[in-house]
Amino acid sequence: MNAREDALRIIRFDHPEYVMTGPPAYSVWYRGCNHEGYAGGGHDAPVGARWTDVWGTEWHKMLEGVMGFPTKHPIEDVKSFRNYRWPDPNDGRICGLIYERAKSFPRGELFLSGSHRETLWEKAYMLCGMEHVMTAIFAEPGFVRDLLHRIMDFQLGVAEHYVGAGIELAALGDDLGTQKGPLLGPRVVREFLVPEYRRLFDFYRKRGVLITFHSCGNVESVIDTFLELGVDVLNPVQATANDLDRIRRMTQGKMALQGAVSTATIMEGPVERIETEVRRRMWQLGREGGYFCGADQGMPFPTAHIDALDEAVKTWGRYPLENPDA
């Protein structure tokens, strides 16, 4: 069974042969998805760089291996929202990168994946500032709904190009949790975010595109929402922020999980400790399928430590899995 077939069986809880670290994918994205500007910037910018992305948000890259931080937001009030010039998903400078990267898609065992990084909530606070958006939810709810709707209009425009390029997997994401609980209450998520999410989910569902969703922090309060929307794979399922047994019970047979190996464990080591946690997570979350075993955050890990995780998955991830505590 090749990697693509095994990944589909993991997602479907359909007797996979082995655990994987993630769906095998070749990713395409639009210019601005990874904070790029028309003149450069983004993830590849050197430490110390400052730039403005295609949305008008200003950035500062402060740490190697970590995304930059927004330093200025283009929509500071309702007036600036009315005057704001939205990026056009049909602008060749934005959508052209999708088709450019798709030309190099090697096919084979890989899925072609399209990224909607910072799909809705995170894009809102990068445009306006988190404090402003959180206050406006209660003080100016109409403004927030209009803002979210316009953001999703853009994402749907990008989705048209992704489908045109032939993607099979859409990678969505918004960090909705903190280390100790939800960042937004379930009522706010349902009233403000879910109607807009549903527009994009429905678009992809009708076209048979698989959907992964990234949300850091504690996500237990929104698991039912993810199930209702139709998430196929949820990541990164932070080990120290969630009750992993509870999340597995809620999602068993319905939604695959990815991640759950503690970032602290991978960063600190030693290799033997990493292997032990990998084995326990695979048994805890994946003994009946539905689990991709990997780090619960993307960090600049020591090479030997992330290699140890990969090796442990290969060594101990063949079905039927062994109970490491037996």
pLDDT at 26: 98
pLDDT at 146: 97
Q: What are phi and psi of 128, to 5 degrees?
A: -120, -20
Confidence of residue 79 (pLDDT cuts 50, 70, 90): confident
Domains along the sequence of the chain with CATH? 24-235 (3.20.20.210)
Confidence of residue 145 (pLDDT cuts 50, 70, 90): very high
Q: What is the pLDDT of residues 274-309, one digit of tens each?
A: 999 999 999 999 999 999 999 999 888 999 999 999
Give the span between the Cα atoms of 168 and 162, in whole angstroms: 9
pLDDT at 77: 83
> Cβ–Cβ contacts within 10 Å for residue 66, how many?
13
Q: What is the pLDDT of residues 12-49, one digit of tens each?
A: 999 999 999 999 999 999 999 999 999 999 988 999 99
* Backbone dihedral region for residue 40 (phi beyond 0: left; psi -120 to 50: alpha; all else: beta): left
Confidence of residue 311 (pLDDT cuts 50, 70, 90): very high
Asked if residue 104 has pLDDT above 90, the reply is yes
The two structure tokens encoding residue 121: 């909530």
Asked if residue 326 has pLDDT above 90, the reply is no
pLDDT at 78: 81
Strand ordering across the sheet containing 111-116:
25-28, 111-116, 169-173, 210-214, 233-235, 256-261, 291-295
Give the span between the Cα atoms of 277 and 298, in whole angstroms: 17
pLDDT at 125: 97
Least confidently predicted of 72-86, 195-209, 306-320: 72-86
Read off the pTM. 0.96
- At which residue do the structure tokens 């120290």 appear? 240
Give the span between the Cα atoms of 113 and 102, in whole angstroms: 10
> Looking at residues 99-119, what average pLDDT do you find?
97
Task: With beta carbons less than 8 A apart as the criterion, state whether 207 and 159 touch.
Answer: no
What percent of the chain stands above pLDDT 90? 94
Task: With beta carbons less than 8 A apart as the criterion, state whether 51 and 72 touch.
Answer: no
Closest CA to 36 of 83, 72, 80, 68: 68
Neighbour-count burial for 92-118, b at 16+ CB within 10 Å, e otherwise: eebbebbeebbeebeeeebbbbbbbbb
pLDDT at 66: 87
Average pLDDT, the chain: 96
Q: What are phi and psi of 25, to 5 degrees?
A: -140, 150
Asked if residue 178 has pLDDT above 90, the reply is yes
